[in-house]
Structure 1
Amino acid sequence: MRSRLLPQAHAILRSQRPLCESSIRQARHTSTESNNDKLATASLNPRWLSDLKSRVGKCITFGLTSEQVNEAGSLLQEIAHDWRDLVAGSEGFLTAKNRRGLYRQEVVWGEMSSPLRHVNNVMYNRYAESARCNWALHFANVHDSEHKEEWKGLLGPKGIGLIMRSIKTEFKFPMKWPDHVTVLHKLSTRPEPGMDHFFLDVMILSELHRRPAARCVEDIVVYDYKIGRKAPLKPFMVDQFQKLWEAQEQAKVKYGGRVVELHRKVEKLEKESWNRPDAKEDLGTA
């Protein structure tokens, strides 16, 4: 006996300068992920999440048993609810409220370029800039309030501050209004004591398309405004960066594993439905 997908699953299937002043030029660090070949998503199509959803939909259209309907609904629920963790977390980006820079920031009509009708390329750097400031402020307000003023000081030109030396932006598709963006930052390399510069990878997610609209690499310099030259990060800042790095690595393992498991489950559902040797499509009754 075959049954059609539950209404809830159908609904899911349908729905589916200082630091804050940028100097835009070619980044010296050209790779956004030093261990890119180790990522669970490295060999996948950029549209892999929507492809998974479509593959589950094909199984549903073919016809499933009651047990398979429940499995399909569970897969669609996971894709719909956890898509940011699956897409970004699997690469080491942290999506929690106390880590993300921008969350569902509205894309407004005026941010599009007039002749081409897609978001102006300059806007992506502004999204990254705003998100970077919030990313830094999370250390002051959440993760290390004991040194709150010193973390906040990184955003100004008085003591030890951060200057963006360069930014490189890769545009993945022409995002348009209406949409929303979620912007995430992560450390590109493991932090070390005495570091006087570091790189940040940026993912700018389209909420409508549920995939990256752009990626950036930011080269950040630690600068002492009092003496007018580069300076090392303070030890407590390096400690916080090291904790952040470990959290990034844990996220990569956790959500990368979930991506692999999702693909395994979808492939299993396909082999048990339309892709089995004796498969016959359920055309319903007249």
Structure 2
Amino acid sequence: MRSTVTRLQQSMLSRVVSEYSREAKPAAAAVSKAAKAPPKAGRKWPLSIDNKQPLNAISLSPRELYKRIGKCLAFGCDPDQTQRAASLLRTINDEWRNLHAVSQGFHDPKNSAYTVRLRDGEPSHRPWLGTSQASTLTQVAEQSIARFLDRVLETADPQDRLEWERLRDNQTFNETLTTMYCHNGATPQTRAFPTLSLEPQVISAYTRLLSNDYEERSTFRFKVVIYSHKHFTKIADLNIKLKTWTHDRNPLPWLSRELKRVAELTSTDAERNDAHGYARYIAKMVTTLELGTWRRPDAKEDFGSAAP
């Protein structure tokens, strides 16, 4: 059974976001503007197409930040603090998925995310090894890859664009693209899939090229991560292997050239550093809110001051 404080926090969060939706916009803009400031010089976050150098993902936990803000509201906030709390809640809700995606090397996540609603959730049974070809999330991942390849096609040179269209539309019997397998790359200890995906919810998927063995094996792999808007967490981290089949079993020169271009469609060092800087800024603002409420030296608890 949930505690009284937890119920109060959830009730207050709902009222605050509703009441301050208009007033919070200027503050939210201020948060976004400040986040665009150049971060301090520091460590570079490496990215390797062969995945030998793991990216340093943002440790920002939106669920934990929500709890911390809720504790401030439950303790008692003045109107200015309540407005800042609402602004932070909206910023976290709008930005955390893209921040995590950028930190993991995904290119232009705001414009490339594939967002869809799981109307029926996953099947009621657990698939072996956490994923299967029949899984709803696997189908979402394949749709995300299709959207990603659409953007690749749109940005290709005219001649290569025609080749992509032929491959996409299966206009020749000599060239076929097929999915070989789908593997859940999340570790068993952190694998939220499929328990958090057994219900209707909105999810967003991000795609990038993970490895390229095309010239040797005619295969290449995509990494697709899927985030739950409802649970504020990553519910799948899928590696999907694709293979092209040709009549002479030789790689297609144009595709070999294009995959090298696709490998460059990742976030840059500067973008990843900016994402980490933005995450630190949000965390700092939450700490500032705490220092002005329940962590203030002369603080006195007042559950009613945040009420409308």
TM over 0.5: yes
The match for 1:96 among 110, 117, 133 is 110
Out of 267, 275, 280, the residue aligned to residue 295 of structure 2 is 275
Taking only the aligned residue pairs, the percentage that are identical comes to 22
Q: TM-score, normalised by structure 2?
A: 0.66
For 1:116-265, list aligned pairs within 5 A: 122-140=135-153, 142-144=154-156, 146=158, 147-155=160-168, 156=170, 158=173, 162-169=177-184, 170=186, 171-173=191-193, 174=195, 175-188=197-210, 197-221=219-243, 223=244, 225-231=246-252, 234=255, 237-238=258-259, 240-245=261-266, 247=267, 249-265=269-285
Over residues 97-139 of structure 1, what are the superposed CA-to-partner deviations in whole Å (9 max), with x where a residue is unaligned?
4x23x322x32338522699xx985222222122212211222
Q: Which moved more, 1:120-129 or 1:201-210?
A: 120-129
Q: CA deviation at 1:282?
A: 2.4
| Superposition map of 1:80-95 within 5 A | 80-93=93-106, 94-95=108-109
In 1, Cα distance between equivalents of 2:57 and 2:120: 35
Structure 1 segments of 4+ aligned residues over 6 angstroms from their partners: 191-195
Say which SS state the counterpart of residue 124 (structure 2) adopts. coil
Tell me, yes or no, if the aligned pair for 1:194 and 1:233 is still in contact at 8 Å: no
Change (3 A) 1:61 1:131: same
TM-score (norm 1): 0.70
Root-mean-square deviation (CA, aligned residues, Å) is 3.8
Work out the CA distance in 1 between the residues paired with 2:256 and 2:157: 15
Shift of 1:243: 4.2
Letter in 2 for 1:143: T
Q: Distance in 2 between matches of 1:193 and 1:115?
A: 33
Change over 3 Å in CA distance of 1:200–1:251 after alignment to 2: farther
Distance in 2 (alpha carbons) for counterparts of 1:159 and 1:11: 61
* Mapped partners of 2:14, 2:152: distance in 1: 44
Alignment-derived partner of residue 25 in structure 1: none
Specify the alignment match of 2:45 in structure 1.
Answer: none
Q: 1:32 to 1:217 in 2, by over 3 A?
A: farther
Deviations 1:258-282 (A, max 9, x none): 1122112212222232123332212
Q: What amino acid maps onto 1:202 in structure 2?
A: V
Distance in 1 (alpha carbons) for counterparts of 2:50 and 2:139 = 19
Question: Mean Cα displacement is larger for which, 275-284 or 154-163?
Answer: 154-163
